[in-house]
Structure 1
């Protein structure tokens, strides 16, 4: 049976470099760094001083102020990104079968801000005194639930919690939902907001975070000087739709999702498998799923976290999956500008990858100064460039050994 084709009809994002997908993409094209000193709390007595914070976000622009007090920051980001994506898609859900419309929204951790605040309150005032909204604000599925409630989506509503791979898993799982006929429309992506003392302290104690104070030398994927990732926050949402369904309503098609691969290293709770075996297999599975030869891919939006082990293992994985062609494609990390948004990272990077295909532009890995012989691919150093590419891949690799890759295709009508 011929597979149903799955297209992108809406994009939305809230990131450290912009409050919309369009604004974020223009900043990425310009090589703008969204990393700076932490302002969300007093970090003066902590080792990690920098983060990729979302700037100027006002939840009142997306919901009533009274309602916003009952919604954790990560879910507020999700609702904002979803609103942008739905508006761009032109969908009127009142005209859709609600049971044919689904939502898959990842969160790596969920409402950690609420969790931290309520734990402090409980320890001070007694745990029977914490907010009655604590649980529905803290649990990770609530971004998915809030979006479903807002738009009346009654199909599958779920939340992949696969650490840093979750956003990409959400897009890939949405592809399968539409392609296999379970849904006609799926809103998918991820959201995260964990620039908190608790999260930053936890990642610092495991030596995962960069602890310097120079934003230009903080998140520097593939650079020999890299010393850890920089925490980011935000959300990304894509509207995926069955091709005939989109065409029947006259939707503008932005791109096509054609392949998905997901694996587990089954190796270690935090470290990737030696040589990036699981990541390589995820990439190969995505290519096989799409029926696309490695030589047809022109760009990879890499996981590229700026940790010594991740970047070298991902480089080796790309070489394994793509062979000699690895040296003939571009491999950049937009985390150099946004920091690492955990469960939102793959979603935002899927948005950037779609925009890269639409505009024929390869975003740079900014801050790149000292080449690492173990990361010897074309990382699009410092300045992005125009390129007419047909296929682009986005990779995400998460703690626990979760690996996910999606393959996108330029829409050619």
Structure 2
């Protein structure tokens, strides 16, 4: 019988720490937040002038092409194998298109950018484009896994990207979601809000059988995934974390794991009061008493919130964690909060070498995703 276990064989990533896995790994290991003044646009009208951004004026389409190429090369895909792999893409709509005439908008579907990316990288084509906010990337990864597990595809390339732009900066500032002091304090007392950050990434997912047939060595196993909604509020999560808890439970069930099997949680942890307390409640509800012994951190406190690309950038973080055995810090912590009673990784990275890692994301409208990533 065919082995439809879903494995990850290639990774490409860019963050505010720089381009490539090594840059991201160095930034995480140094516990050095990548935030600094934004130079892409004037910020004097906004709550803060800080974000985690690459230098210069990077182009999102070019950055997406770069990470897809990196992932395919690391996976060792031949041109023929690329030509049989569809692309799933998570990204934000181009603000310039949204400001154009309706006739232009109608001829500039966001799916066109995915199709162009697939052609440029020699892939089968763009199967779907996701714009569902902060769960776009993790939803795309989940769908790719379903396609592979059910035998519809042998391999799928998933990519996602977001580069800090003024439209979203203004939106989050107007919603009073940006941290006014330019510090993101996930799960901490006195947390004041989130900070945005550049993030672009891609992975190659395959069935274990397809990978073995061509001699590819998996980086990790995507052993579980779960999606759930709570529809509690247009932008606030359910205070008891009900949707997130269901997503976690579904991911664990699919992976065949108990809560105590999880060795680390890479949390969504935006640093907003409502999100962090809701996510803490969800973890306690889904994992029970085991949560007290499971290390947790939000690496958004280091690389910022990459919106549609968050799930991809944080999937890259989980792969580095499995490889290095070091858990990244939950940075800028200024004291415990009774609503966030978790075993946070504080001060410096913690060496644990987990076997199974849980990565969480949530989005406006009550959407929640959970991925379980396991050592190969």
Q: TM-score, normalised by structure 1?
A: 0.86
> Any residues of structure 2 matched to 1:34-73 within 5 Å, and which?
34-55=34-55, 73=59
- Residue number in structure 1 paired with 2:169: 200
The partner residue of 1:180 within 127, 146, 150 is 150
User: Could you tell me how far apart the structure 1 residues matched to 2:126 and 2:155 are?
Assistant: 11
Asked if 1:162 corresponds to 2:146, the answer is no
1:308-360 deviations in Å (ceiling 9; x for gaps): 01001001100011001101111100100111000000111011111111221
Is 2:77 the counterpart of 1:91? Answer: yes
Q: Distance in 1 between matches of 2:283 and 2:242?
A: 10
Q: Write out aligned runs for 1:303-382 (5 A).
A: 303-382=268-347
State yes or no: 1:145 paired with 2:115: yes
Would the alpha carbon gap of residues 97 and 26 (structure 1) be closer, same or farther in structure 2, given more than 3 Å must change?
Answer: closer
- Unmatched tracts of structure 2, length 5 or more: none
- Give 3-state SS (helix, strand or coil) of 1:209's partner: coil
Q: What CA distance in whole angstroms lies between the structure 1 residues aligned with 2:333 and 2:74?
A: 34
Task: State the 1:161 CA deviation.
Answer: 2.1
Partner of 2:93: 110
Report if the CA contact (8 A) 2:266-2:297 is conserved.
yes
1:80 match: 66
What's the offset of the Cα at 1:34?
1.0
Deviates most, 144-153 or 288-297:
144-153
Offset of 1:159 from its aligned partner? 1.5
Runs of 4 or more consecutive aligned structure 1 residues displaced over 6 Å after TM superposition = none
**Deviations, residues 368-407 of structure 1 (Å, cap 9, x unaligned):** 1211111111110131121121100100000011100010
Alpha-carbon shift at residue 2 of structure 1 (Å): 7.1
Structure 1 counterpart SS, 2:86: strand
Give the paired residue count: 376
Is this contact kept in 2: 1:75–1:142, CA < 8 A? no
1-structure distance, mates of 2:69, 2:26: 19
- Once the two structures are superposed, residues 162-191 of structure 1 have per-residue CA deviations (whole angstroms, 9 ceiling, x without a partner) of 211111111111111111111111111321
Per the TM alignment, residue 147 of structure 1 is displaced from its structure 2 partner at its CA by 2.7
Contact 2:12 2:201 in 1 (8 A): yes
Would you say the 8 A contact 1:195–1:232 is kept in 2? no
How has the CA–CA distance of structure 1 residues 2 and 246 changed in structure 2, closer, same or farther, with 3 Å as cutoff? Answer: closer
Distance 2:2 2:295 in 1: 32
Which SS does the other structure have where 1:96 is aligned?
helix
Report if the CA contact (8 A) 1:103-1:187 is conserved: yes
User: Alpha carbons of 1:382 and 1:145: their partners in 2 closer, same or farther (altered >3 Å)?
Assistant: farther
Please say if 1:276 is aligned against 2:276: no
The match for 1:245 is 210
Structure 1 residues 142, 13: CA separation in 2 closer, same or farther (over 3 Å shift)?
farther
Deviation of the 1:142 alpha carbon: 4.5
Equivalent-residue separation in structure 1 for 2:162 and 2:232 (angstroms): 26
Cα separation, partners in 2 of 1:375 and 1:142, compared to 1, 3 Å: farther
Q: Tell me which residue corresponds to 1:66.
A: none
**Whole-Å separation in 2 of the counterparts to 1:151 and 1:382:** 41
Q: What SS does the corresponding residue of 2:287 show, helix, strand or coil? A: helix
Task: Name 1:67's counterpart in structure 2.
Answer: none
- Residue 264 of structure 2 corresponds to 299
CA distance in 2, matches of 1:184, 1:147: 20
Q: Indicate yes or no: 2:12 matched with 1:4.
A: no
- Alpha-carbon offset, residue 156 of structure 1: 5.6
- 2:28 and 2:194 map into 1 onto residues whose CA distance is 18
